[in-house]
Structures are given as C-alpha cells and as structure tokens.
Amino acid sequence: MKTKTLILILLITLVVGGCKDSSKDSTKDLNKDSTNKTINEPIDNASKNSIKSEGLKLDYSKGYESKAKVQFKRLEAMKSFYKKAKNLDLKVHVELLDKEEWTKKYKDVPYGMPFVMLEETPTVVLPATEDGIIVKNALVYKDNVPSDIKKTLSEIGFTYEEAVKLFPDLIGLHEVGHSLTVENGNTNLNSWFNEFMATYYAYAYLVKEEPKYAKLWKANASITYLDGSKPKYTALKDFDEKYSQIQPDNYDWYQKQFTLLAVRVYDSMGLDFIDKVKDVFKDDVVDSDETFNKLHTISPIFDQWASEMKNKFK
Ligand SMILES: [Zn+2]
C-alpha cells in the first residue's frame, strides 16, 4: 500500500476473470505509473462535479449525480462508524468515473476494476456505470451459478445479475478499508494480511450498518471457479511471493478465502479484533510466518484456517 497505489480490487467478483486487484501489488505496479502523466490529471470540470464534507471528497463524471450521492452517503456513514467505534479519522477522495474519463486518466487499469492509490489522502477510483470488467466477467458464468447460491442470494433479496452489478461498489468499500488500515497504524503488513484487513474493515461496517450487503458479500465469497477449473496457487506464501504471476480468477479466489476468514473472525471477536491488530502489529514489517506468530496470540482461528488452507486441495 503505498502511495499512489492502486489497490485494485478485491473480492468480490463472482468469478471475475479479469480483475486482478489488489492492493498491494497493483499498488506497486501502479505506483510506478503514478509518476506517469496518465495518472492524476484533474478530472475535467471537477469543480462542477464534486461533493465534499470534512475529510471526504467525491468527484464524478457528468450525468452521475444520483449515483455519486448514494456513494457519498455511504462514505460518510463509514467515516462516522469508524470515528465513533474506533476513533479513526477516515480521509478519502473518491473518483466515480465513466468509461471515457477513466480510460483517459487511468489507461493501464481496465475500466470497472476499482482501485485505490494510497497517498497522503487516499484516492479510490470506481466505475460510474455497470458495464465494467468485473460485472461483464461475472455475467459470463451466470448460467453456472449453483442453485444453492442462487437460493441464498434470493433469500437476501437479489438475483445473481443484480448482485453482480453491486460488486464494484462493495469492492470500493474494501479499498476504503485499506485507508482505515493505515489510519489504524498498520502500515507494514504482509500482502495477504493487508488484503484481509481491508476486507475486515469493510465487512465489519456492513454487518452493523448495511447487513443486507454483508450477507451478499459473504454469499459471494462462496462463488469461485464457476467454469469448473481449479486455482493454480493456493498457498499464502504464493500470494505474498508470486503476486505478479497470479491470474485474476486465482486472485479472486484468494480474496474470497480472506472474506470467509473475516466472517469467522468477526463472528468471534467483532470490532475488538481491530484493537488487537493495532496493538500486536504496530508498525513492524513482518513476513507471513511472523504474521501467524502474532495472530496466534490474538485468536486460534488463524491457525485453524491456515491448516484448512493447506489441506484444501489435497
Ligand atoms: Zn485490496
């Protein structure tokens, strides 16, 4: 996570073939790009298409005021939630862009794949329309969605298609979660745990404030590889060390494992977990082994989960 970083997405994608996200790395990659002129040019007429309040700013492409208002309301709710619950002061800038503006500013990022650039004030970039890469890729497999998943989505109140179209917005909350991770003083987490924490912040907020979407997020995490294939990489070590080699659908699989873990940890510890991480990790730079040593002192769930991950494809 880093400055001008793009943390592309996360989770959510019901089979996203195509959206490699991620935080750290994309972040790294895009970090390099941040020196490129294609990034960070001001949005045309941004002053006319902007909503602000203390610490928050949302710029949007012309014609998307309604969606911008919905997004901004959610940002304010998340800021207020973490201020009250953990005294964290969320500062974030969001750009809600249509395809034309996105392509002009961020030509190296596929349209529709949310990402964050972690600079002094983090910038989260979201698509304004529903025809981006994540939604498109997820809809390819709509006929392969298992009936039990369809039933779960239906019980929550969504068709698969409706759920898919919400994913970019929800992924945006994961990106905001990266900002909160830094705000909480955890600036040097290893890759997989950094992704996990971003999801934890987003999920914990949703459980309390928008439970319907928390259920949707959880349900989505069970949907992977609808084409019947299997992930090439499943080890956490690979996630940390072979990031650039991990394909989008495999990346999506990892993110969904982190989501399922977040649900378990949240069910066990709730928001107290955030305090423990603040205390135990502080600003140390740790590798995955050391991360587990530290997590071992917080909850037995992590050791159990690591063991399950190892045996998943044996
Ligand atoms: Zn991320």
pLDDT at 10: 36
**Residue 35: per-residue pLDDT:** 29
Largest separation between any pair of C-alpha atoms in the chain: 56
Q: Which of 306, 239, 313 is nearest to 20 (CA)?
A: 239
C-alpha span between 14 and 11 (Å, rounded): 8
- Kindly give the residue spans of alpha helices, DSSP state H, lying in the chain: 23-33, 65-86, 99-105, 133-140, 147-156, 160-183, 191-209, 211-220, 236-241, 248-269, 272-281, 288-296, 301-311
Tell me how far the alpha carbon of residue 280 lies from the centroid of ligand 1, in angstroms: 21
The predicted pLDDT at position 23 comes to: 38
Q: 6 CA distance to ligand 1 centroid (A)?
A: 8
- Cα of 10 vs centre of ligand 1, distance in Å, is 5
198 Cα to the center of ligand 1, angstroms: 6
DSSP 91-142: -EEEEEE-HHHHHHH-TTS-TT--EEE-SSS-EEEEESSS-SHHHHHHHHTG
SS3 call for 51 = strand
Ligand 1 centroid to residue 173 C-alpha, Å: 10
Global pTM value: 0.85
pLDDT at 276: 96
- β-partners of residue 115 are 125
What is the rounded distance in angstroms from the CA atom of residue 294 to the CA atom of residue 286? Answer: 9
Distance in Å, CA 21 to ligand 1 centroid: 7
> Ligand 1 mean position to 86 CA, how many Å?
21
Q: Which amino acid makes up residue 311? A: N
Please tell me the distance between residue 227's alpha carbon and the centre of ligand 1 in angstroms: 24
pLDDT (tens digit, 0 to 9) for every residue of the chain, 314 residues total? 333 334 333 333 333 322 343 333 333 223 222 323 334 444 444 446 999 999 999 999 999 999 999 999 999 999 999 999 999 999 999 999 999 999 999 999 999 989 999 888 999 999 999 999 889 988 988 898 999 999 999 999 999 999 999 989 889 999 999 999 999 999 889 999 999 999 999 999 999 999 999 999 999 898 877 777 888 998 888 998 898 888 888 888 999 999 999 999 999 999 999 999 999 998 677 888 889 999 999 999 999 999 998 877 55
What distance in angstroms lies between residue 7's CA and the mean position of ligand 1's atoms? 5
Q: Residue 122: which of 26, 57, 190 has the closest Cα?
A: 57
20 CA → ligand 1 middle, Å? 10
Q: How far is the CA of 141 from the centre of ligand 1 (A)?
A: 24
| Domains of the chain with CATH codes | 23-311 (1.10.390.10)
Residue 64 CA to ligand 1 center (angstroms) comes to: 25
- In whole angstroms, what is the distance from residue 259 CA to residue 306 CA? 14
Strand 123-127 versus strand 50-53 pairing type? unpaired
Rounded to whole angstroms, the Cα distance separating 73 from 53 reads: 10
Cα 223 to ligand 1 centroid, rounded to whole Å: 18
Question: 48 CA distance to ligand 1 centroid (A)?
Answer: 30
The order of strands in the sheet holding 123-127 is 50-53, 56-60, 92-97, 123-127, 115-117
Distance CA(168)–CA(204), nearest Å, equals 18
User: What's the pLDDT score for residue 313?
Assistant: 59
- Closest by Cα among 222, 201, 86, 200 to 148: 222
- Cα 178 to ligand 1 centre (Å): 7
DSSP code, position 223: -
Rounded-to-integer distance, Cα 56 and Cα 47, Å? 14
